[in-house]
Amino acid sequence: MGLLQDITAALAPVGLNLIGTTPSSDYEALVPAQYHLKQRFPDIKTVVVIGNGGGEFWRHFRQYVEARPGYLQQYDHPLDAYTVEAIRARLTPLLDAARTQYRLIYPFQFFSGLTVSFMHLAQAARLSVPSILGVQIHPRYGPWIAWRAAVLIDRDLPALSAPAQDFEPCSTCLERPCIAACPTQAVNAVQDWDLLACMKHRLRVPADCAERCHARYTCVYGREHRYPEDELAYHQRSSLATAQAYFKKSERAN
């Protein structure tokens, strides 16, 4: 098997079932210069983008922590810690054996001051496209996807399948139930997702979107792949905590 097929086969058993590739130049064409990978990794040619579609990855995470008492208390962000452990364990032997220069990066880590947009990496790999929800949408999994890691590689690799090629979910969506589902018009038809409006509403009425984002939940794509209830609540708690910390910091600064 080739390296990409090996990577795909190694990650599928833990629910990391969305794998795509993009030349680094295609990604850099989508983002401002401060996001360019070549600033830190001048030899990079290809990016392998890794994500999960649906709740399978979460189920593996749950099994992993259930077998390790105390794991959840050990980390501020246990899902991220598990992501690093799962990916390193599965990919490091393969990448080392391929005798390639590589670097594993994650959306929740900083790389010597470099910021990478994983949404744009996935878009360049044609795995998903932007939506009015503020998250990306995959033709099969809808908004129930997350980008977990990427491998920067110093060689050209062939393109993998591109499921989101020519996919235009929101401009062709007639029902748009997501707009009515949002209690504060953070999701609307006239502008991009209004992050500030969403966060202000959630801080004002914490119980309202505590269990899930209602707009995302009603998206017409990928409903059968919605995350399980406990995963939805985990992500909502985590984003609310981030918003609370952000607003507390800004209040202190003013």
Q: Would you tell me which residues interact with ligand SF4 (CB under 6 A)?
A: 131-133, 169-170, 173, 176-178, 182-184, 186-187, 198, 201-202, 209, 213-215, 219-221
Q: Which is nearer to ligand SF4, 71 or 234 (CB)?
A: 234
Compute how many other C-beta atoms are within 10 angstroms of the C-beta atom of residue 203. Answer: 13
Residue 141, CB-side half-sphere exposure with 13 Å CA sphere:
24
For ligand SF4, the closer CB: 23 or 183: 183
Cβ atoms of 133 and 178 within 8 Å: the answer is yes
Nearest CB to ligand SF4, comparing residues 201 and 226: 201
Q: Which is nearer to ligand SF4, 100 or 244 (CB)?
A: 244
CB nearest ligand SF4: which residue?
Answer: 173
* β-pair type (46-53, 18-23): antiparallel
- Tell me how far, at minimum, the Cβ of 224 lies from ligand SF4, in Å: 14
Residue 142 · residue 224 · CB < 8 Å: no
Q: Which two tokens stand for residue 81?
A: 């810690």
d(CA 110, CA 128): 23
| Residue 67 Cα distances to 118, 206, 234, angstroms | 31, 32, 19
In Å, how far are 11, 51, 60 from 249, measured between CA atoms?
Answer: 38, 31, 35
Compute the least distance from the CB of residue 139 to ligand SF4, in Å: 11
| Closest CB to ligand SF4 among residues 6, 194 | 194
Contact 125, 50 (CB under 8 A): no
Q: In terms of CB distance, is 164 or 187 closer to ligand SF4?
A: 187
